Amino acid sequence: MFSPDTLPWTNSFASLSDDFYSRVTPTPYKTDARMLHFNPAAAELIGLQAENSNSPDLVKMLSGQSLPQGSDPLAMLYAGHQFGHFVPQLGDGRAIMLGEVSHEQTGKWELQLKGSGLTPYSRDGDGRAVLRSTIREYLCSEAIHSLGIRTTRALAMTGSDDEVYRERIETGAILTRMAPSHIRFGSFEVFFYRNQFEQIRTLADYVIEHHFTELKQPELQQQANPYLALFETVMRRTARLIAQWQSVGFAHGVMNSDNMSILGLTIDYGPFGFVEAYQPGYICNHSDHSGRYAFDQQPEIGLFNLSCLAQALLPVLMESEDDSPDKAVEMAKDIMTQYQPLYIKEYAGLMRAKLGLVEAMPEDQTLLQELLDLMQQNQVDYTILFRKLGDFRSDETQNHELRDLFLDREGFDQWSSRYAARLAKENSNDSERKVRMNKINPKFILRNYLAEIAIRKAEDEKDYSEIDVLFKILQQPFDEWPEFESYAGHPPEWASDIAVSCSS
Ligand code: AMP
Ligand code: MG
């Protein structure tokens, strides 16, 4: 029988001093643990076979009952700007990193158990995660990955009959997630606040050494400050990540700087949502009363978070003792000014592709904006519209299925004649365009109501079959899946009553 002891465990993060983390072990469930779901695709990344998911030792490890030999479990320290306010100490309050597993082809993966009990950073929390939020993260991280967007991955969900107390009594669960690193912007901010500048340098060196090896090329090191190059790379990855979120209609919901990955991954899934009836100011997080993290605010918030990171990096951006702090500020600012144009370029490129356009033309931005305005006025579903746009026929005066998505049909007709003219300008071929568009416009996203149905079945009947279905289609969201047509349709009316808010 497989034992997780046989995996090649290391923990490079633990080789840093304990300024950066606290050693802590998971707290097992009180009642019997079981595997609720296992992700063979993620398992493969660390050389784990799907059939090993039945191994009792693996279940024990993934439910915090036993530690694999060679692991060195810890909770990471970080701070962060939450809703614009600095919180000097956060840290993994309910996530424990078991260690890293290395794989020849895919590199090194940190394995974290989220919901595995108290840590020194738990503050008022209980260190646990409820089943419903675990299912949401499990499904959505796989959906985001399959949409081609970088994210932490979900390896497995374990559960038990243990109760967790929230507004009501709920079932607890543990998510095992994996990423090359879970280091956040806030991991740097905590040391800036404490005036521990050497730790900032150590952490930046660690990140470059282990995760940005391209910054170690001798040419780069000679010409430029490696910490500035690090900041620039993070800026670029963040701009790209958020442009991708916007293009698929993903709202993260809690873009606090402690929820921003230094690797540019989507991390910490909580009250996220996908835009359905198009509304640029969509707020998915029920507790976000001011709309700070509304869908259309995300690009701007990305820049705010980068400014938090820049501030934390200032002490190491000064190249020598003689450098004035002003020079470091100027260098950081120079990089930050590149963010918006870069974001716009990334977003425009993605949206052009969503419209099926190959060449870039000056009128594209207006064409897109006119469509988005019409969608907003007519409350047209974002995902359904773009998927159906692939069926647009340039030689038809009325594309009925598309047209019927709009109440203002004349408005759509006017737009569609401009679209047809624009397609003609690049001699676009309808059937080739459809093939291209279906590779970028997903048919399936994780709609809140779909997750909700899966959650209710799991909570009420311990029936995880709906998770199976969603997992399968969301792993291939560009496929047609004719047998699951209803999963691609409009949300039912009751979906508008679903409310999701911060940590649960
Ligand atoms: P989140 O909004 O989930 O990113 O969490 C923000 C902070 O609160 C992080 O430091 C979490 O570790 C911590 N936290 C959230 N929920 C809990 C919990 N149930 N127990 C302990 N800490 C928690
Ligand atoms: Mg968080």
Record the tokens describing residue 235, joined without a space. 């800026």
What span, in angstroms and rounded, lies between the C-alpha atoms of 148 and 244? Answer: 9
Q: Is 494 contained in some domain?
A: no
Q: What is the pLDDT of residues 107-116, one digit of tens each?
A: 999 999 999 9
| Separation of first and last alpha carbons in the chain | 35
Q: Which ligand is nearest to the CA of 166?
A: 1
Q: What is the pLDDT of residues 149-168, one digit of tens each?
A: 999 999 999 999 999 999 99
| CA 268 – ligand 2 centroid, Å | 5
The one catalytic residue in 258, 268, 288, 381 is 258
Q: Please tell me the least confidently modeled range out of 13-22, 82-91, 266-275, 395-404.
A: 395-404
Q: Is 503 contained in some domain?
A: no
- The number of the ligand 1 atom at minimal distance from the alpha carbon of 268 is 4
Q: Which sign does the torsion angle of CA 233, 235, 238, 239 carry? A: negative
What span, in angstroms and rounded, lies between the C-alpha atoms of 143 and 444? Answer: 9
* DSSP for 333-367, written as a single string: HHHHTTHHHHHHHHHHHHHHHHTT--S--TTHHHH
153 and 74 together in one domain: yes
Q: What is the pLDDT of residue 496?
A: 87
Nearest residue (by CA) to ligand 1, atom 2, is 503
- When pLDDT is averaged across residues 461-482 and rounded to a whole number, the result is 98
Helices 185-193 and 298-317: angle between axes, nearest 10 degrees: 50
Domain count, the chain: 2
Q: Is 454 contained in some domain?
A: no
Q: Encode burial over 423-436: b for 16+ CB neighbours within 10 A, e otherwise.
A: beeeebeeeebbeb
248 and 217 together in one domain: yes
78 versus 500: which is more confidently predicted?
78
What span, in angstroms and rounded, lies between the C-alpha atoms of 191 and 184? Answer: 12
Helices 298-317 and 339-354: angle between axes, nearest 10 degrees: 140
184 and 324 together in one domain: yes
- The number of the ligand 1 atom at minimal distance from the alpha carbon of 119 is 21
Count H helices and E strands in the chain, helices first: 17, 13
End residue of a domain, out of 395, 419, 437: 437
pLDDT band at 325 (very low <50, low <70, confident <90, very high): confident
Q: What is the pLDDT of residue 397?
A: 82
Q: What is the pLDDT of residue 502?
A: 76
410 and 429 together in one domain: yes
| CA 100 – ligand 2 centroid, Å | 20
Q: What is the pLDDT of residues 266-307, one digit of tens each?
A: 999 999 999 999 999 999 999 999 999 999 999 999 999 999
Q: What is the pLDDT of residue 468?
A: 97
% pLDDT > 90, the chain: 92
Amino acid at 217: Q
Q: What is the pLDDT of residue 214?
A: 87
Residue 101: φ, ψ to 5°: -115, 130
347 and 359 together in one domain: no
By the 8 A CB rule, do 263 and 181 touch?
A: yes
What span, in angstroms and rounded, lies between the C-alpha atoms of 27 and 73? Answer: 12
- The number of the ligand 1 atom at minimal distance from the alpha carbon of 126 is 20
Q: What is the pLDDT of residues 115-144, one digit of tens each?
A: 999 999 999 999 999 999 999 999 999 999
Residues contacting residue 173 through CB under 8 Å, at least 6 positions apart: 36, 115, 129, 130, 131, 134, 135, 157, 158, 159
Q: Is 458 contained in some domain?
A: no
Q: What is the pLDDT of residues 236-251, one digit of tens each?
A: 999 999 999 999 999 9
409 and 262 together in one domain: no
Nearest residue (by CA) to ligand 1, atom 1, is 503
Q: What is the pLDDT of residue 294?
A: 98
What span, in angstroms and rounded, lies between the C-alpha atoms of 249 and 350? Answer: 12
Q: What is the pLDDT of residue 215?
A: 87
pLDDT above 60 (res 222): no
End residue of a domain, out of 298, 319, 354: 354
| CA 136 – ligand 1 centroid, Å | 16
| CA 438 – ligand 2 centroid, Å | 33
End residue of a domain, out of 395, 415, 437: 437
126 and 153 together in one domain: yes
**Residue 19 parent element (H or E):** none
Q: Angle 494-253-235 (CA atoms, 0-180°, nearest 5)?
A: 150
Record the tokens describing residue 466, joined without a space. 């709906």
Closest CA to 138 of 157, 119, 113, 110: 157
- When pLDDT is averaged across residues 191-215 and rounded to a whole number, the result is 96
Nearest residue (by CA) to ligand 1, atom 13, is 93
Residue 305: φ, ψ to 5°: -65, -35
295 and 431 together in one domain: no
Q: Provide the residues around ligand 2 (an ion) whose CB is within 5 A.
A: 259, 268
Nearest residue (by CA) to ligand 1, atom 3, is 503
294 and 361 together in one domain: no
Coarse DSSP helix, strand, coil percentages of the chain, rounded to the nearest 5 percent: 50, 15, 40
By the 8 A CB rule, do 102 and 7 touch?
A: no
Amino acid at 228: L
Site to probe by mutation for ligand 1, drawn from 94, 166, 288 as the one with most ligand atoms within 8 Å of Cβ, is 94
pLDDT above 60 (res 503): yes
Q: Which sign does the torsion angle of CA 115, 117, 120, 126 carry? A: positive
Amino acid at 439: K
Is-catalytic flag, 124? no
Record the tokens describing residue 490, joined without a space. 């409009």
- When pLDDT is averaged across residues 351-364 and rounded to a whole number, the result is 98
Q: Is 125 contained in some domain?
A: yes
Q: Angle 185-253-285 (CA atoms, 0-180°, nearest 5)?
A: 145
By the 8 A CB rule, do 220 and 241 touch?
A: no
Q: What is the pLDDT of residue 220?
A: 61
Q: What is the pLDDT of residue 223?
A: 55
Q: Is 443 contained in some domain?
A: no
Q: What is the pLDDT of residue 477?
A: 98
Helices 382-389 and 430-437: angle between axes, nearest 10 degrees: 150
Distances (CA, A) of 154 to 98, 145, 179, 474: 15, 10, 9, 13
Q: Is 20 contained in some domain?
A: yes
292 and 332 together in one domain: yes
Q: What is the pLDDT of residues 25-67, one digit of tens each?
A: 999 999 999 999 999 999 999 999 999 998 999 999 999 999 9
37 and 99 together in one domain: yes
| CA 252 – ligand 1 centroid, Å | 16
| Average pLDDT value over all residues in the chain | 96
Nearest residue (by CA) to ligand 1, atom 17, is 125
CA 143 to chain centre: 10
pLDDT above 60 (res 105): yes
- The number of the ligand 1 atom at minimal distance from the alpha carbon of 127 is 20
By the 8 A CB rule, do 80 and 184 touch?
A: yes
Q: Which sign does the torsion angle of CA 454, 457, 460, 463 carry? A: negative
| CA 260 – ligand 1 centroid, Å | 14
pLDDT above 70 (res 448): yes
Q: Is 419 contained in some domain?
A: yes
Q: Which residues form the pocket of ligand 1, taking CB atoms under 6 Å from any ligand atom? A: 90-94, 121-122, 125-128, 254, 259, 268, 270, 502-503
pLDDT band at 207 (very low <50, low <70, confident <90, very high): very high
Record the tokens describing residue 397, joined without a space. 């005066």
pLDDT above 70 (res 361): yes
Nearest residue (by CA) to ligand 1, atom 16, is 503
- Residue 490 is given by DSSP the state P
Q: Which domain holds residue 367?
A: 355-437
Residue 165: φ, ψ to 5°: -100, 120
333 and 367 together in one domain: no
pLDDT above 80 (res 322): no
Q: Which ligand is nearest to the CA of 94?
A: 1
Residue 453: φ, ψ to 5°: -65, -45
- The number of the ligand 1 atom at minimal distance from the alpha carbon of 90 is 10
What span, in angstroms and rounded, lies between the C-alpha atoms of 301 and 41? Answer: 32
Distances (CA, A) of 264 to 30, 245, 260, 302: 36, 12, 7, 11
* DSSP for 212-238, written as a single string: -GGGG-HHHHHHS-HHHHHHHHHHHHH
